[in-house]
Chain A
Amino acid sequence: MAKTPKLRRGFRFQWEPAQESYVLLYPEGMVKLNGSAGAILKEVDGERNVDSIVASLEQQFPDAGPLGKDVEEFLQDAEKQHWIELV
């Protein structure tokens, strides 16, 4: 996918030591992210497109096999939840 994911306005992604996980913060709300969601959103910088994010993740997790499908599904879901935009 050549689209580029970008966090929506008002959303912030950060590591929370007390929860030992990445979280997504937004107006009066917070989602605690599981390991793979955190790993994917960590790559979302508003610059790189989905293909290059997939490539980067496959390099970081060589034992996980091809990741394209999972990553795309997750990002589409995140778009539906209005966490990110895909442009």
Chain B
Amino acid sequence: MNAPGKQPDNVSVGPPLWLLAELTYRCPLQCPYCSNPLDFAQTERELTTEQWVSVLRQGRAMGAAQLGFSGGEPLVRQDLPELIAEARDLGYYTNLITSGLGLNSAKVDAFAEAGLDHIQVSFQASDPELNNAVAGSRKAFDQKLAMARAVKEAGYPMVLNFVIHRHNIHQMNDIIELCDRLGADYVELATCQYYGWAFKNREGLMPSRGQLEKAEAEVNAYRARLQDAGSAMKLIFVTPDYYEERPKACMNGWGSLFLTVAPDGTALPCHSARILPIDFPNVTEMELRDVWYNSPGFNHYRGDSWMPEPCRSCDEKAKDFGGCRCQAYMLTGNADNADPVCGKSPHHDRILAARRAADHATAGIEELTFRNADNSRLFYRG
């Protein structure tokens, strides 16, 4: 065992090439699959502009090249144009991940001028009714359409993101058609990953295997048609790991490429890790270099000496690093365990139970717990 907080001896830690700046937990939408922590409303403090600028500078000096501005809804930060300009000056490739609410054509153009490289607009469905029901907002869909068009007009590459779950998974063809009509360059069809609010709502969100297989076949067929037509639109279908027998190599390894900074400055190896019973450093109290290379939080799961069985003696551990620590924690109560998605995990039955439940689930959208401050308070005031 290594002394806590030290970099494991046999691991060489490279720079954090990706920096995710979660500017705020504030958001006008209420997606029931939001990956923000359930108790987000407890964290009202947000870093100041100066503090964010300092994080950006330090990250870039360490080698970060990809930068994401997300949240919550990053557009609620009034200093966003300033942060974008700073990021561009520093040489980041800057991505804005937004619901499109609060955006207008003037802002889209102003951001382009400031040097924003890419805007990803997320949709909830291919039609207004379902979209707005899932988003918990009556005017979301029209606004999103308008903003997708404005993004295109301003000359950005257009990336549209759809989170896929049992209530919209039958819409694959419609969704892709909509994206084609809007002239998207990339379409992310991301089946829900069960973190944060999505974990809470898993039973009401998780598609059955039958639904999933049908959707995947539709995407593949559409992809073939696009290819024949010479279209450059790329379809990225992210399959849910709950239907796999081996876990994903989460974040490409703990503390290996990704560095997330939460609204209050907490530094995390992934956007979900806040739920783990681990002390993570805050960028207002520690230099980013120390956070990344020397903090106990970031070194906690580097290397593989922390692994219990079955991972410890498994010949696949260099491939998937034992899967996702958050998933292990949520499903087994101990984050050291193998990710239960793995067929070798003694807890794999929890995944099987979730699959069975998905075959029989009947809950409607209105029964989901929507992500908003009132609901959030239930999770820390009890």
Residues in A lying within 8 Å of B, measured CB to CB? 8-10, 12, 14, 16-19, 23, 25-30, 82
Contacts and interface: CB of A to CB of B under 8 A. Distances in A.
A9 to B, nearest CB: 5
A49 B219 CA distance: 37
B234 A30 contact: no
A18 B62 CA distance: 7
Interface string B60-103: 00110110100000000000000000000001010100000000
A14 B66 contact: no
Contacts of A17: 63
B117 A10 contact: yes
**Nearest 4 A-B pairs (CB), nearest first?**
A18-B63, A10-B157, A25-B93, A27-B118
B365 to A, nearest CB: 28
23 contacts: A9-B155, A9-B156, A9-B157, A9-B185, A10-B117, A10-B157, A14-B91, A16-B63, A16-B65, A18-B17, A18-B63, A18-B65, A19-B15, A19-B65, A25-B65, A26-B118, A26-B157, A28-B68, A28-B118, A28-B120, A30-B17, A30-B66, A82-B232
Contacts of B93: 12, 25-26, 30
Contacts of B186: 27
Interface of B: 15, 17, 62-63, 65-66, 68, 91, 93, 95, 117-118, 120, 155-157, 159, 185-186, 232, 234
A87 to B, nearest CB: 13
Contact of B66 (A8, A10, A19, A25): A25
**Most chain B C-beta atoms within 10 Å of own C-beta, residue among A10, A28, A29:** A28
Contacts of B120: 27-28
Contacts of A26: 93, 118, 157
Contacts, number: 54
Contacts of A10: 117-118, 156-157, 185
Contacts of B65: 16, 18-19, 23, 25, 30
A43 to B, nearest CB: 21
A17 to B, nearest CB: 7
**Most chain A C-beta atoms within 10 Å of own C-beta, residue among B62, B93, B156:** B93
Given A8-B157, A18-B15, A30-B66, 5 more contacts: A23-B65, A26-B93, A27-B186, A28-B118, A82-B232
B137 to A, nearest CB: 25
B117 A27 contact: yes
A9 B112 CA distance: 13
